[in-house]
Amino acid sequence: MNDIEHIVNEVSEKIKNSDIAALEKIRTEYLGKNGVLTHILKSLHKYSIKEKKKIGSEANKAKTFIENEIEKRKENLKEALVNEKMQKEKLDYSQSFYFPFAKGSFHPVIETIETISSVFKSLGFFVAEGYEIENDWYNFEALNMPKSHPARDTQDTFYLEGMRNLLRTHTSPSQIHIMEKQKPPVRVIVPGRVYRNEASDSSHSSTFHQIEGLTVDENVTFTDLKAVLTEFVGRFFGSALKVRFRPSHFQFTEPSAEVDIQCFFCGGKGCRLCKNSGFIEILGCGMVHPNVLKAVNYDSEKYTGYAFGIGIERITMLKYEIDDIRLLYENDLRFLKQF
Ligand code: PHE
């Protein structure tokens, strides 16, 4: 019995200071085939039944105790290891560091979209997204451009395989999608990329961007259109500039207009930028044609609306005095870093 007590004390002491490998050694030394405790259990036959019971039970208790102590120590060691690792890998968020890359900036086209959107958002417009791939109905038919209508000639595009789908030539198809999905009142702008079958030169590109605007409700008049667009021009270009609504034609608006602003380059005297006219065209607009409202099953007697389309590249080029549209698509960092 004394031996057992002694063994337990001895092992407890050893376990306290052991690492994982040493623990395995202790296990074999005391509990293995030739272990000290195993030896005691094997020699029980030497004793009387009474002694056997007592010693046997004590020895078994000691065995369980040692096994538990070894496991406990193992767990503690593992935990300590994890803690140590966490301590080592802890991030110091307050530490300043050198970041070897230049800070990026928005592309001027995106910048313009953001600025225009924020003006219209402040005027109560929601921002929506359209589809770049459309079909004939959305891009033309529903916008009052029936098949073989000459108005289509100005908007040739790229057709996808099978000719069923095409790349949209303007953001106006989103008008149809929105009106198909919701009842009036509608008040949205839709920025996006558009495509035309166009040879590229300093002012034309086969891919460019527009922002579509659409308001439909009861009692919407041309006065509302003028007010909103004049407000937009004032906020975007500065309110000192004159705004001109010049009669024009679009199939999906009636009446239609183009909006010109006084040339901010020459102040209206006439220069290269405004081609000596004193004004610069910035967008197309008009009152939504009743046929368009009918195409989306809106009651054209009850509702009226206005729409407009702004060319993003044109405005960006005016704002930053960029004289070649192609510069916007070349991803030349020497160019982009200026913004
Ligand atoms: N979609 C026309 C274009 O691309 C612009 C426009 C939009 C005109 C909405 C009137 C109303 O030329």
Block residue for tokens 């659409």: 214
Rounded to the nearest angstrom, the distance between the alpha carbon of 326 and the centre of ligand 1 is 22
Burial class (CB in 10 A: 0-12, 13-18, 19+), 173: buried
Handedness of CA 163, 167, 168, 173 (dihedral sign): positive
Rounded to the nearest angstrom, the distance between the alpha carbon of 29 and the centre of ligand 1 is 91
Rounded to the nearest angstrom, the distance between the alpha carbon of 308 and the centre of ligand 1 is 6
Position 247 scores a pLDDT of 98
Determine the longest span between alpha carbons in the chain, in angstroms. Answer: 126
Position 83 scores a pLDDT of 92
- Give one DSSP letter per residue of 9-39, joined into a string: HHHHHHHHT--HHHHHHHHHHHHSTT-HHHH
Position 151 scores a pLDDT of 86
- pTM of structure: 0.71
Ligand 1 pocket test target in 154, 220, 250 with most atoms within 8 Å of CB: 250
Question: Is the separation of the CB atoms in 306 and 220 below 8 Å?
Answer: yes
Distance CA(303)–CA(82), nearest Å, equals 69
Nearest CA to ligand 1 atom 2: 309
The response to whether residue 184 sits with its C-beta less than 6 Å from ligand 1 reads no
Q: Where are the domains of the chain?
A: 2-88, 108-336
Distance CA(2)–CA(8), nearest Å, equals 10
Position 40 scores a pLDDT of 86
CATH number of 108-336: 3.30.930.10
User: Helices marked H in 197-260 — which ranges?
Assistant: 222-237
Our measurement of the distance from residue 226's CA atom to the centroid of its chain's CA atoms, rounded to an integer in Å, reads 34
The response to whether residue 170 sits with its C-beta less than 6 Å from ligand 1 reads yes
Position 306 scores a pLDDT of 98
DSSP state for residue 277 in the 8-state scheme: S
3-state secondary structure of 75: helix
Ligand 1 pocket test target in 179, 248, 252 with most atoms within 8 Å of CB: 252
Nearest CA to ligand 1 atom 6: 309
Residue 90 makes CB contacts below 8 A (sequence gap 6+) with none
The response to whether residue 288 sits with its C-beta less than 6 Å from ligand 1 reads no
Question: Is the separation of the CB atoms in 157 and 196 below 8 Å?
Answer: yes
Distance CA(282)–CA(314), nearest Å, equals 7
Distance CA(207)–CA(147), nearest Å, equals 24
Q: What atom of ligand 1 comes closest to residue 213's alpha carbon?
A: 9
Distance CA(280)–CA(176), nearest Å, equals 29
Q: What is the pLDDT along the chain (339 residues), one digit of tens a residue?
A: 778 889 889 988 899 888 988 899 999 999 888 888 888 888 888 888 888 888 889 889 999 999 999 999 999 999 999 999 999 988 888 877 777 777 788 999 999 999 999 999 999 999 999 999 999 999 999 999 999 898 888 889 999 988 889 999 999 999 999 999 999 999 999 999 999 998 999 889 999 999 999 999 999 999 999 999 999 999 998 878 899 999 999 999 999 999 999 988 888 899 887 889 999 999 999 999 999 999 999 999 999 999 999 999 999 998 888 989 999 999 999 999 998
DSSP state for residue 94 in the 8-state scheme: T
First to last CA, the chain: 88
Tokens matching residue 147: 């098949």
3-state secondary structure of 323: coil
The response to whether residue 250 sits with its C-beta less than 6 Å from ligand 1 reads yes
Which of 237, 277, 225, 284 has its CA nearest to residue 257? Answer: 284
Name residue 244's beta-bridge partners: 260
Position 203 scores a pLDDT of 86
